[in-house]
Structure 1
């Protein structure tokens, strides 16, 4: 369950679009190290790409998380690809409209997962009698890339991160992972063949323990 990510600035997305319009290639200039961008959590405004009717992309900001009347108004910020696919086929359900008409893409530098699987490293508190160690988080980055794309769905000014079964990089840490897009796959996610992206076994991540 993705609950934290390291997003880009809106102006970085806008600069990337301008570069792509001129050169035909995606590129975001390296950020000045003195600029600190806070990580995003559910409820945050996050910059992302949305497709326009003419097939082009535009950059905007949406709020991370959908209110769910069925769950007492609790914010739902992840969307299981399996559920979205079933609802799209049935034509009804919370995600039916957004996955059919509202697929979008969030560029990030990293996403984070709680280490919930067996084998988590021990913390100092674990050694104290009667005390439980704090839960640890792991940062994941797409191997070989400083920026990568996460598949999302949007509706009414909000978005949710699409999740799928974890691959070999993530499964030792967590039982779900964001649907991360590899090079050239953004057009697939935004096109008719999006269900084919559910299998992320070929994607490899670098990971870092955050504490």
Structure 2
């Protein structure tokens, strides 16, 4: 599961790093507390040109009559994505990459209090989450929506949660984005355990209204 994350990289840096042409309506950065239904930074490719776009985090299947017509689909399980009616077409034809600096996960103490953790790459590079997208146009305001692909946790992540996002390496992006033909399914697995690191952060981030760089600072 991935239900909250942060992005701190400037827009021009994201565009340059991922060789993508930026759109004009990208979300403001930095954002230390990105929540479901917020606009997020997404890389998409038409096979020859990559674009850095804004999409709504929360995939809306084409049969939903309203955005709230069913469950909020922020994650898609790698194990069943090719079978689920909501995602099976997208995983073949509409794959994308969601960008993050780090993401949050929670454990509980003996009293049931939610204790937040912030997870990043050890090499401090941005996280590139495997994702899928869907255009929804049933309402007055058409939406371009997306969901993160998740898989079983690696040994590092399993200390705090049994699921994790599929984190792509730079050399895997072309295959996931459809620039190198078929075979993207083999990328839907947990990152090696030495790729990620984590630290406790203040419980302030438990509120979806919290903001500011202090949310990702280590907390003892």
TM range (shorter): 0.7 to 0.9
CA contact (8 A) 2:164 2:190 kept: no
Distance 2:114 2:164 in 1: 18
Change (3 A) 1:184 1:44: same
Residues 153 and 180 (structure 1 numbering): CA distance in 2 closer, same or farther, change over 3 Å?
A: same
Query: CA distance change for structure 1 residues 98 and 176 in 2, over 3 Å: closer, same or farther?
Result: same
**Deviation readout 1:49-106 (Å, 9 max, x if unpaired):** 0011x4221011000002465x95231100001111335xxxxx11011111110001
Distance in 1, Cα, partners of 2:169 & 2:37 = 26
2:106 aligned residue: 114
For normalisation by structure 1, the TM-score amounts to: 0.74
Give deviations 1:32-64, integer Å, cap 9, x for gaps: xxx742421101000110011x42210110000
Q: Which residue of 2 aligns with 1:137?
A: 116
What's 1:153 paired with? 132
**Contact (CA 8 Å) 1:10, 1:61: kept in 2 or not?**
no
Question: Matched residues in 2 for 1:173 and 1:208: separation?
Answer: 11
**Any conservation in 2 of the 1:168–1:201 contact (CA below 8 Å)?**
no
Unaligned runs of 5+ in 1: 22-34, 88-92, 127-131
SS at structure 2 position matched to 1:187: helix
Match of 1:206 in 2: 197
Structure 2 residue aligned with 1:85:
82
Structure 2 CA distance for partners of 1:85 and 1:74, relative to 1, 3 Å: closer
Taking the aligned partners of 2:189 and 2:132, their CA distance within structure 1 comes to: 18
Alignment of 1:31-180 (within 5 A): 36-52=30-46, 54-67=47-60, 73-87=70-84, 93-115=85-107, 122=109, 132-156=111-135, 157-180=144-167
Structure with more of its chain in helix, by fraction = 1
Q: Find the residue that maps to 2:158 and give its secondary structure.
A: coil
Tell me the distance in 1 between the aligned counterparts of 2:52 and 2:171: 19
State the Cα RMSD in Å. 2.4
Distance 1:83 1:46, change over 3 A: same
Aligned counterparts of 1:188 and 1:6: Cα–Cα separation in 2: 25
1:206 to 1:51, Cα distance in 2 relative to 1, 3 A: same
Contact residue 81 and residue 164 of structure 1 kept, 8 A: yes
Does the Cα contact within 8 Å between 2:60 and 2:134 map onto a contact in 1? Answer: no
